[in-house]
Chains A and B, each alone.
Chain A
Amino acid sequence: MFDGFLKQGTARWLVGFVCAATSLTAGCSRPVESPPFVAIEHAISPQPARVGPVTVTLKLTDAAGKPLTGAHIAIEADMSHAGMSPKFAEAKEAYPGCYQAHLEFQMAGDWIILLHVTLPDGKKLDRPIDVRGVRPN
């Protein structure tokens, strides 16, 4: 039925391409180092979150449950839609292990807050926080 449909050599060429693409993709993977254990509790006020200024409070504890002091936390807030620029802020340590940052939600909807944490020993970790359903004013 398909006599002549697939011209000579095409099948071999296609198979070769798929194999090359697969091996290239597989070769790109790298082993991932497991991040240090840090528990992060978060709170956003006001609740429910509304368009406008908000305060993000973060409590960092280590594996033993002790407050984690001296961390540097860069915050980035993104919307789920293209065309919205991210908002950046730095969290300040208000008291041992507790950090606060001020952000502004410019639009109602779902936001994602990305925490870029640098621990006192220089190790880094990233954590996302979903903030769903920010309400309009």
Chain B
Amino acid sequence: MTPSSIPGQETPESLPFDLMRVPGLGHLFRWRYARPLLQVPLLVLSLVMILHGLFGPTLAPKSLATTLSWLHFRGVLVLVLLCAGNFFCLACPFMLVRQAARRFFTPRFTWPRPLRNKWLSVGLFVLILFTYELFDLWSSPWWTAWLIVAYFVSVLVVDGFFKHASFCKFVCPIGQFNFVASTLSPFEVKVREQDVCTSCHTKDCIRGRREAISDLVTIRGCELALFQPSKVGNMDCTFCLDCVHACPHDNIGILSRLPASELIVDPIRSGIGYFSRRKDLAALAIVFTFGALLNAFGMVSPVYAVETWLGRMMHVSHEAPVLGLIFTFFLIVEPVLLLGLAAWLTRVWARSPRALLSLAVRYSYGLVPLGFGMWLAHYCFHFLTGLYTLIPVTQNAIASLGRAFLGEPRWALTGLPANVVQVIEIGFLVLGFAGSLVVTYSLAEDDSPDKPLRAFLPWAAVCLVLWCASLWLMFQPMEMRAMLMSG
């Protein structure tokens, strides 16, 4: 054991803050069953949500399925990503079920090579956003419950057949959302001292710790193919802490870092490669950003006027084709136009040697802070304005069982006043806008060291357009309809 591996000993001043060094927390995370400890409560909660969604009240404001899914889970998720890191994936209840199932099923196959990218998960991410709007998932406890069931089944099927964490890395839409958002988190799972890794011969963090005689894996290594010494940032990291437990030198911590810093640099990353060469990752970043605006657009009054108008123009009464057109515009046409124009201007003004597509891929990561700002503003609006509704909904659920030991539902409890929440929303949007400007300027400096301002300006204009759109959306009257195009 190296001196630095002894818990509680001195940490060099230059080292960043390490959550694993926090008394109590470090011991908890180092404990082998830390993950199940966090997963079990979420699994129980998931089961309660499924049961209440299927057999409880049909009204969304009275259901634990819809209240917990669309208010509390989403709100807490984005706040934890903003303030800490991808700790939801650490506590993911789906993975607990998968682990239990793997006692019975042994996956035999490796994930198909053509699917070892983000294209499938980008498609599923869009599909989730689309079905959310089409079937008004937020208004249906029944559909929400089935969505959770579908998630459990998908995990079991994918990881039942395919080895490692195929579902997390290549399929899970929530996971992809978390991966992108966690590029802005202040903590990452990282090696403490590179020298220790250089002298390490066993590489347990990726291979897993093995028994000396049988060579059987006793503590698994990273299932997402992230080799700690060359891992950069949070992309694809589920914070599962397998590497922490496997490392024989206790050389992996949860270290503080500058949020978004991993979006600025472009080294080769273990398990990922170069950001600048990953068109699928760029597509994910674009869907993440433009999807944030689209998702918010779906809850304000103008969307109904647009849908009605489009329905008349297309001579259709069903929502799906109209919604399909809106999605095509927001997630394909608009990004192609905005990013294409900005990339072309960068080439012309800054005489960047990169191709248009290469420039668009490179700078698309710069939009992620803006997108995250919008997700934060949107989800925190619902979370904070409905913060206390969990109390009467739980009271009602208990009372419906015939044992009102929590008292009668106090329906007057709602949340923070909308005008207070609006200030917080604007704060998130400003933070996201500032973050995007910093990242895109840093990319411009790196890309066109001679003329960084000229390379930066087109992307700053894109950020400004998206930010103005976000602000406009936030000031629109909210309108929640469960039956779109109903006249």
Chain B, range 443-460, C-beta contacts under 8 Å to A: none
B contact residues around A110 at 8 Å (CB):
139, 480-483
Q: Tell me whether B483 and A10 are in contact (CB under 8 A).
A: no
Q: Tell me whether A136 and B479 are in contact (CB under 8 A).
A: yes
Q: For the complex, is B3 an interface residue (Cβ under 8 Å from A)?
A: no
Q: For the complex, is B194 an interface residue (Cβ under 8 Å from A)?
A: no
Q: For the complex, is B386 an interface residue (Cβ under 8 Å from A)?
A: yes
Q: For the complex, is A109 an interface residue (Cβ under 8 Å from B)?
A: yes
Contact with B along A96-123 (1 / 0, CB 8 A): 0000000000011110100000000000
Contact-residue size bin, chain B (C-beta under 8 Å from the other chain): 35 or more
Closest CB of chain A to B129's CB: distance in Å? Answer: 17
B contact residues around A130 at 8 Å (CB):
483
Q: Tell me whether B382 and A83 are in contact (CB under 8 A).
A: yes
- Closest residue of chain A to B415, judged by CB? A83
A contact residues around B482 at 8 Å (CB):
80, 110
Q: Tell me whether B105 and A5 are in contact (CB under 8 A).
A: yes
Q: Which of A4, A79, A81, A132 has the most CB of B within 10 A?
A: A81
Q: Tell me whether A6 and B71 are in contact (CB under 8 A).
A: no
Selected from B70, B106, B477, B483, the residue in CB contact (under 8 A) with A4 is: B106
- B residues apposed to A, CB below 8 Å: 59-63, 66-67, 69-71, 104-106, 108, 136, 138-139, 301, 304, 382, 385-386, 389, 392, 411-415, 477-483, 486-487
Which A-B residue pairs are the 7 nearest by beta carbons?
Answer: A83-B386, A136-B477, A80-B482, A109-B480, A80-B139, A108-B479, A81-B480
- A residues apposed to B, CB below 8 Å: 4-7, 10, 51, 78-86, 88, 107-110, 112, 130, 132-133, 136-137
A sample of 25 cross-chain residue pairs with beta-carbon separation below 8 angstroms, ordered by A number, consists of A6-B104, A7-B104, A7-B106, A10-B105, A78-B59, A78-B61, A79-B61, A80-B60, A80-B139, A80-B480, A81-B138, A82-B61, A82-B67, A83-B67, A84-B386, A85-B411, A85-B412, A86-B61, A88-B411, A108-B478, A109-B479, A109-B481, A110-B480, A132-B481, A137-B477
Apart from A81-B61, A83-B382, list 7 A-B contacts with CB within 8 A: A6-B105, A7-B104, A79-B61, A80-B59, A85-B392, A86-B61, A130-B483
